C-alpha cells in the first residue's frame, strides 16, 4: 500500500503520497504537520506523566509481585492502559456519570438545538414529524427540522433520526441528501418550487444516531452529556450544510478541506458542556430545576481525566501516519535489503519513543499497525482531528467563551466561516471570523493544559499565545 501509493504520487509529480494527499487540504506541507504533532507531544508529556503515575500506582497495588513492589513504579504497557485507566477513573469519579441524564430528556435536547439556532443566528425553526413519503422508518420516529431567516427566507431541512431500532446504522453521522447550490435563472418546470429559494437550491441533510435510554421511572428517553455532545457535534455539520451558500454543490457546506471540515462540529461540542447554554434547556422535567453547576463541574473533571494520555495516543497515530506515507519511508521499503514489516516496526517504535512517556515502553514483537485501518481510509490525514480541535478551541475562546449565546459572534461565524463552505481558503475564513487573528494550531496543547488545571465551567481558562 505504501510503496504503490508513493509510486502513483511521484508519477503525478508529487514528492510523496503525503504531498499528493495534502495538495488540496488546509495544511499542504507535511513537515509543518509533523512539527505541530511533535510540539503538541512535547507540551503534553509532563501532564501525561502525571496521569500515568496514577495508573502505575494502581498497577502496583493490584498486581503485587517483586516486579511491581520495588522502589520504582511498574511500567504501563499498551494492554494495561485501558484497564488501569478505567480503574483509576472509577476510583476518582467525582459524580456518577449518569447523574446528568434526568436533566436531559431527548425532547428538551432537541429544543437546545433550536435555542442555538435562534440565539446565535437569529433563525426561525419549525419541528414536526416527517411525512410518510419522507420517512424511512416507522411513523413519528423521524423528525423534520426546518430552518428559515426573516431576511433570507427558507434555509433548508434537517431530518432527525435519533432513536435506536433494530438493524439501524449504528454510528452517528451526518448525511447530505441534497446539497445547496446556485440554480439556473431559467428553471426546469419539473423542479419543485419548494426545493429552491431566491436562486439557490435548498439543502436537505439527515442526522442519524441511536441516542438515549429510558429509565424505569420515566416515560421519556434521556441522554448522557456525552450523547448530548455527539448530538451537538453532528448538528454542527448540519448547520455547516444549511448555512452555506455556494455557486457549486461540490463546494457546499461540509464539502471543504478534510483537515478543516470538523472545525464547526467540534466547536458546537463546546456549547454542550457550557452551563450558560445548558441552563436554557437542561432542566428536570418534574421539578424544572436546571442542571446544577457542581454536577457539571464534576462531569467536566471526570471527562478531563487522562486527557493528555488520550491526546498523546492521537499524536502517536497521526505521526506514524505522516511518517509511513513520507518519501523516506516509501523509498526505504523499496530497497531489496529491507523487510517491510521490520522497517515499519522500527518506525513505529521510533515514533512511540518520541511521543509517549518513558514509563510506557514500546511493546516489542507487536504489530498494531495491522489494526490501524485509518491508514487506508485516512492516509496522511489522520492529524485532521487534532488540527480541527485546535481551531475550534481558538474560535471558542475568541468568540464565545465569555458569552456563548452572543448573536454578534454567531453572525460572524455564519457569514465568515459557514457561508462560504469549501469555496475559500480555510485560513482566510478563520482569520476573517476572528477579526484578523491568525489561526494557530500550536495553541492546542496550552489550552488543554490550562483546561485540565481549571475547575470553572462557565469561564474557561484563557488561551495562551
* Catalytic, out of 51, 229, 234, 269: 234
Distance in angstroms (rounded) separating the CA atoms of residues 343 and 49: 28
SS3 200: strand
Nearest by Cα to 197 from 237, 134, 256, 146: 146
Question: Are the beta carbons of 30 and 326 closer than 8 angstroms?
Answer: yes
- Backbone phi, psi, residue 291, to 5°: -50, 120
107, 163, 165, 432 from 209: Cα distances, Å:
15, 7, 10, 33
Distance in angstroms (rounded) separating the CA atoms of residues 269 and 231: 8
Nearest by Cα to 434 from 399, 388, 393: 399
For 43-140, strand residue ranges (E) read 124-129
SS3 387: helix
C-alpha cell at 198: 431566491
DSSP code of 442? G
Q: How many Cα atoms occupy the beta-carbon half-sphere of 35 within 13 Å?
A: 9
Cell numbers 512535547: residue: 42
SS3 115: helix
**How distant is the alpha carbon of residue 214 from its chain centre?**
27
Active site residue 54: no
Catalytic annotation, residues: 234
Amino acid at each position: 500500500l505504501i510503496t504503490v501509493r508513493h509510486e502513483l504520487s511521484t508519477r503525478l509529480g508529487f514528492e510523496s503520497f503525503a504531498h499528493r494527499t495534502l495538495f488540496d487540504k488546509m495544511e499542504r506541507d507535511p513537515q509543518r504537520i509533523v512539527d505541530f504533532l511533535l510540539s503538541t507531544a512535547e507540551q503534553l508529556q509532563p501532564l501525561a506523566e502525571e496521569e500515568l503515575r496514577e495508573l502505575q500506582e494502581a498497577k502496583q497495588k493490584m498486581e503485587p509481585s517483586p516486579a511491581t513492589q520495588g522502589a520504582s513504579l511498574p511500567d504501563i504497557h499498551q494492554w494495561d492502559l485501558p484497564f488501569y485507566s478505567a480503574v483509576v477513573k472509577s476510583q476518582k469519579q467525582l459524580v456518577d456519570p449518569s447523574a446528568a441524564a434526568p436533566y436531559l430528556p431527548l425532547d428538551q435536547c432537541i429544543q437546545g438545538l433550536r435555542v442555538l439556532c435562534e440565539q446565535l443566528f437569529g433563525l426561525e425553526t419549525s419541528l414536526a414529524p416527517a411525512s410518510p413519503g419522507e420517512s424511512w422508518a416507522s411513523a413519528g420516529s423521524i423528525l423534520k427540522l426546518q430552518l428559515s431567516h426573516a431576511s433570507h427566507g427558507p434555509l433548508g431541512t434537517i431530518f432527525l433520526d435519533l432513536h435506536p431500532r433494530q438493524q439501524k446504522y449504528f454510528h452517528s453521522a451526518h448525511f447530505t441528501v441534497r446539497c445547496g447550490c446556485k440554480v439556473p435563472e431559467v428553471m426546469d418546470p419539473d423542479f419543485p418550487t419548494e426545493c429552491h429559494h431566491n436562486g439557490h437550491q435548498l439543502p436537505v441533510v439527515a442526522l442519524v444516531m441511536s441516542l438515549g435510554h429510558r429509565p424505569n421511572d420515566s416515560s421519556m428517553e434521556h441522554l448522557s452529556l456525552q450523547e448530548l455532545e455527539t448530538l451537538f457535534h453532528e448538528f454542527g455539520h448540519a448547520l455547516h450544510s444549511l448555512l452555506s451558500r455556494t455557486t457549486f454543490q461540490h463546494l457546499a457546506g461540509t464539502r471543504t478541506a478534510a483537515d478543516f471540515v470538523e472545525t464547526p462540529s467540534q466547536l458546537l461540542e463546546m456549547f454542550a458542556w457550557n452551563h450558560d447554554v445548558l441552563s436554557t434547556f437542561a432542566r428536570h422535567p418534574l421539578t424544572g430545576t436546571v442542571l446544577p453547576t457542581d454536577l457539571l463541574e464534576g462531569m467536566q473533571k471526570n471527562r478531563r481525566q487522562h486527557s493528555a494520555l488520550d491526546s498523546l495516543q492521537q499524536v502517536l497515530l497521526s505521526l506514524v501516519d505522516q511518517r509511513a506515507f513520507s518519501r523516506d519511508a516509501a523509498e526505504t521499503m523499496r530497497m531489496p535489503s529491507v523487510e517491510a514489516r521490520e522497517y515499519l516496526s522500527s518506525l513505529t517504535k521510533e515514533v512511540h519513543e518520541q511521543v509517549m512517556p518513558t514509563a510506557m515502553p514500546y511493546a516489542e514483537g507487536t504489530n498494531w499497525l495491522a489494526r490501524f485501518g485509518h491508514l487506508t481510509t485516512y492516509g496522511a490525514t489522520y492529524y485532521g482531528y487534532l488540527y480541527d480541535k485546535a481551531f475550534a478551541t481558538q474560535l471558542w475562546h475568541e468568540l464565545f467563551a465569555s458569552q456563548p449565546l452572543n448573536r454578534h459572534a454567531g453572525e460572524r461565524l455564519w457569514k465568515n466561516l459557514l457561508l462560504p463552505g469549501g469555496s475559500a481558503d480555510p485560513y482566510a475564513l478563520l482569520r476573517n471570523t476572528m477579526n484578523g487573528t491568525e489561526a494557530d494550531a500550536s495553541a492546542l496543547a496550552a489550552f488543554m493544559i490550562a483546561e485540565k488545571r481549571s475547575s470553572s465551567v462557565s469561564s474557561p481558562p484563557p488561551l495562551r499565545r
